[in-house]
Structure 1
Amino acid sequence: MTLVIYCLAFVLGVLGNGAVIWVTGFKMQKTVNTVWFLNLAVADFLYAASLPLIVTRLALDFHWPFGKFMCKLVFTLNNLNFFASVYILVVISVDRLVSVVWPVWAQNHRNVYRASYVSLGVWLLALILSSPHFAFRDIMLDSDTVACYYNFALSDGEETGRLRHQAVIITPFLLGFVVPFAVIVSCYAVIIHHLRRNRTLAGKSSRTFKIIAAVIIAFFFCWAPFQITTLCEMIHFTINYSSEILGYVARIGIPIASSLSCLNSCLNPLLYVFVGQDFRDKVCKSILKMLETAFQDEDYGSHTDTNTVSASQANERSILNTEL
């Protein structure tokens, strides 16, 4: 089942995110939204593109035939793209919150230049958080099998290795799941509260709520099982707490949870393009037209000479376009 899911994620992730990269990078005018989605698609595309090596490892019963450097590189890239994808989702959530709650400021300060620098900051943060995986990944020859594994002890002793193991597991759990999920939920909770107070969206907000629910549910159910099972593994192996249940969860749950988490890389294009769209529109519109509709920035019409908008106009237009 794990191999099937990985292969499915590879095909859908490469095709779906490749289409997003092609359209947002080469076929559309650069806007703040296209910058977000281009970076999100790049992160998910790189993750999906590395899956054949993971599939090969699983098919060979965890034998790693690609050498030490690739052992370090592949799993570092996996974590790099994980953190980048998660934090870009956070940035998108915060950006939408700002556009709804402070529309005048957003109209006069949101631009491609600032969005590009924010995206660069996300990638640098993701690189810092994923660097331990490059440091601690190693290979070990066991009979005729080469294992690509975490060597936390190195030459510093077992106790130091145990602490490093705990840090490498707890850090992604807190900074890659708990904190981002809390920020995403908080942003959309404020957005929903703001939209419900504004009667302008009467009858127009159903699609918005569907997209919000899809983002939160997909993020949670793709990553929560993986984070929980890795915590169980850490408790079982590093805190000297022997438990048959925890051992079973670690042995059986982690491969399944890992394959489930990788599906997030191919779900993101679907979430932001298809959720809430009429089925007939999906069939009739071309992929280019659908992506342009999903990623287009707000059209505010002609600006005043000072390139500012009134509070009432900005508020109404930004709220009506939060469906994006």
Structure 2
Amino acid sequence: MTTNSFNPINTTAAPNGNGSKNSDSNGGLNIMSLIIYSVAFVLGVLGNGVVIWVTGFKMKKTVNIVWYLNLAVADFLFTAFLPLSVTYTALDFHWPFGKFMCKLNTTISFLNMFASVYILVVISVDRCVSVVWPVWAQNYRNVRRASYVSLCVWVVALILSAPYFIFRDTEQDSNKMICFDNYALSDDYETPSVKKLREFRHQAMTITHVLLGFAVPFTFIVLCYAVIIHRLRRNRTLANQSSRPFKIIAAIIITFFLCWAPFHIMGLIEMAYHMPEYSSEILDDIITIGFPIATSVAFLNSCLNPLLYVFMGQDFKDKVRKSILIVLESAFQEEETRNYTYTKSVDTSQNQESSDLNTEV
């Protein structure tokens, strides 16, 4: 069985290796994928393009702006390549763009995944540090250092996604050119040692992207926000003053989790399916139905963040009355102005910590 027909960013089986279900029998899933990919492309390119334009050229640079700008760049880059996946699906999974674009398309997909999740980790750590060590954050937290951290995130994401550029391959299958993951870097699908190498690398890649692209980062995120929530509970007024930006980033993190969790779960199921001891018709059916749905949901994540910025950045009436620029400014702005009145009302010892906390939470 192969997932070629459904998952343009994580096909693992050989195009002619294990047999494949006829994609014509899954026309409904293919149509669903086409619609979702197209919607994600249009909304993602337009929405993230606006965010990049506003945060990159129309707003004063702050640390928060640097984080959101990099998140939008990652999503924009991914959605800009979605027409390749749309074409691949529309042509009944014939890849007409050549081997290089096959490699690049998959690499960009995982680059987006790794960059996005690690930017969310950085945002969470940044907010946690601002809460726990507000004086240190006020002295050392600036746009220049945030830009350096962002650059490091992109380097790490590029390193983690580079293997997909190596293993992605194309091969003729009947009258179609298939884009798939050739973990053995060989067209030999019969020799036991080659099959074992392919299985080992498949398992290593799957476990790597599940752990480093999902489980470990979200563990850090949950720990950071546990600390933040614990600190905010000590001061209810402070928590109320800081609720809007906290809700925005919480919504972004929850959305990323809900969109990407099914994809990683399906990856683990597919890995189990390719193990002889776990292979079964039940797993075959789960993968056939589940992978196109999980992949489509994961793709949608890249077009949802701009919508979250707008719908959570202002009350609905304000969104109707104000321009896109003002709405995004409200969503992204630092908290100094909002919390100035509160910080002036507390005693001197509390004032320093509360002011710094309000600034970034």
Counterpart in the other structure of 1:230: 267
Counterpart in the other structure of 1:93: 124
Give 2:355's match in structure 1, choosing from 294, 317, 320.
317
Equivalent residue letter for 1:174: L
% identical equivalent positions: 66
2:286 pairs with 1:249: yes
Deviations 1:112-152 (A, max 9, x none): 11111100100000011001100000000112100000111
Give 1:116's match in structure 2, choosing from 129, 147, 157.
147
CA distance in 2, matches of 1:148, 1:54: 11
Give 1:72's match in structure 2, choosing from 86, 100, 103.
103
> 1:107 touches 1:314 (CA, 8 Å); kept in 2?
no
Give 2:61's match in structure 1, choosing from 24, 30, 35.
30
CA spacing shift, 1:97–1:270, aligned 2, 3 Å: farther
> 2:334 touches 2:360 (CA, 8 Å); kept in 1?
no
Runs of at least 5 residues in structure 1 that lack an aligned partner in the other structure: 303-309
CA spacing shift, 1:264–1:318, aligned 2, 3 Å: farther
Question: Equivalent residue of 1:29, what SS?
Answer: coil
CA spacing shift, 1:271–1:321, aligned 2, 3 Å: farther
Runs of at least 5 residues in structure 2 that lack an aligned partner in the other structure: 1-31, 187-192, 341-347
2:178 pairs with 1:147: yes
Question: Which range moved further: 170-179 or 203-212?
Answer: 203-212
Counterpart in the other structure of 2:333: 296
CA spacing shift, 1:314–1:206, aligned 2, 3 Å: same
> 1:210 touches 1:276 (CA, 8 Å); kept in 2?
no
CA distance in 1, matches of 2:354, 2:310: 23
Deviation at 1:215, TM superposition (A): 3.0
Deviation at 1:240, TM superposition (A): 3.7
Question: Which range moved further: 185-194 or 166-175?
Answer: 185-194
> 2:313 touches 2:331 (CA, 8 Å); kept in 1?
no
Equivalent residue letter for 1:254: F
CA spacing shift, 1:314–1:273, aligned 2, 3 Å: farther
TM-score scaled by structure 1?
0.91
Deviations 1:55-101 (A, max 9, x none): 11111111100001100011111111111111111111111111122
Equivalent residue letter for 2:177: V
Deviation at 1:202, TM superposition (A): 5.9
2:323 pairs with 1:286: yes
Deviation at 1:273, TM superposition (A): 3.9
> 2:171 touches 2:177 (CA, 8 Å); kept in 1?
yes
Deviation at 1:299, TM superposition (A): 3.3
CA distance in 2, matches of 1:175, 1:83: 8
